[in-house]
Structure 1
Amino acid sequence: MDIANCLALIERLCVREFPAEHGRTDVGTGGPGYLIAALAAGGDRHEDNGADRETARAQYEADRDALSERLAERWGPADVFSLFSVFVRSAEGEDAAQPWGALAAHVPDLHLWREESGRWVALGVSRWDGEPPFQLLAVVTETDPP
């Protein structure tokens, strides 16, 4: 993972217009009020067997933490925000605002900041039931966390 490239992408997301419709973007996915970009994704590392999966998961989390340290220099320490309650409520049929509802299905927690313009910036590791491929995601949204 190239931290400088990741920071530059996050900066671009912070000033970019949000898509009018839900769907794919040039950096990942987006919709009204949010953008999600994969900063690193499975296939970047070997994740075929159990030991490699655990190593890969740990590496994605270490990459998230390293990037979080750099963002903390700009916006202060991150809040660690669990999406577990959003996941449970969604499973019980409650609609969660996007992007939080979609993220809750595969990202257990996020490092979260409120940047100067009022947008939320989050970093998380997508796990999809703990199975590869993992992804390090950057999320920028104007929607308050639930």
Structure 2
Amino acid sequence: MGIETYLVVTDLLCSREFPAEDGRSDLGIAGPGYHTAELATSRGTRVADASMREEVMERFHEEREALAGTLTEWWGEPSHMGLQTIRLRTATEEIPEPWARLSHLMGDVYVWEARQCGRWIVLGVADRDPTDEIQLLLTATETDPP
């Protein structure tokens, strides 16, 4: 996908109804109050050497920054949010989805409040687990950040 396709997906996430139950969707995963689109997924970084993984991570972060630039034009400056505290809180308290899951996948995200669609838009790179593929993820949720 390219930036134009990412923007089409963003529009879809802003307008789709949320499903009643957690599960897979045509764009990624979804559940009550959220949709997460898997905009891009690496291939082979699970078993790749560290330099290849680093190269792919760098490319995905560049794509995140490019998309963030356009989303900033739409909704203004985002909050840059570290997710480590949320991840730590999941051990002792109930953190709502999609925030609990996102905190285990990503170290930090950009967050916009898209008031015209009544949703929070979350953009980040899932690269925390070196044994998993890297993904560029975009989430739309009605659940406020914890």
After TM superposition, is the score higher than 0.5? yes
User: 2:103 corresponds to which residue?
Assistant: 104
Contact 1:53 1:132 in 2 (8 A): no
Matched, 1:142 2:142: yes
Matches within 5 A, 1:21-36: 21-36=21-36
**TM-score calculated relative to the size of structure 1:** 0.93
2:68·2:110 contact (CA, 8 Å) conserved in 1?
A: yes
Residue aligning to 1:37: 37
Q: Which runs of no fewer than 5 residues in structure 2 stay unpaired? A: none
CA contact (8 A) 2:107 2:128 kept: no
Percent identity between the two aligned chains: 38
CA distance in structure 1 between the partners assigned to 2:55 and 2:34 by the alignment: 30
Task: Give the aligned partner of residue 79 of structure 1.
Answer: 79
Counterpart Cα distance in 1 of 2:28 and 2:12? 13
Aligned equivalents of 2:67 and 2:102: distance in 1? 19
CA distance in 2, matches of 1:130, 1:104: 15
Q: Give the Cα separation in 2 of the matches to 1:51 and 1:34.
A: 34
Aligned residue-pair number: 143
Question: 1:123 is matched with which residue?
Answer: 123
> Contact 2:82–2:108 at 8 Å: present in 1 too?
yes
Deviation at 1:132, TM superposition (A): 4.3
Instruction: Give, as a single letter, the amino acid of the residue that structure 1 aligns with 2:20.
Output: A
User: What is the distance in 2 between the residues matched to 1:112 and 1:131?
Assistant: 26
Residue 65 of structure 2: aligned partner: 65
Distance 1:130 1:71 in 2: 28
TM-score (norm 2): 0.93
CA contact (8 A) 1:42 1:132 kept: no
Give matches, 1:44-55, under 5 Å: 47=45, 48-55=48-55
How big is the shift at 1:119? 0.4
- Please state how far the C-alpha of 1:113 moved relative to its aligned partner: 0.4
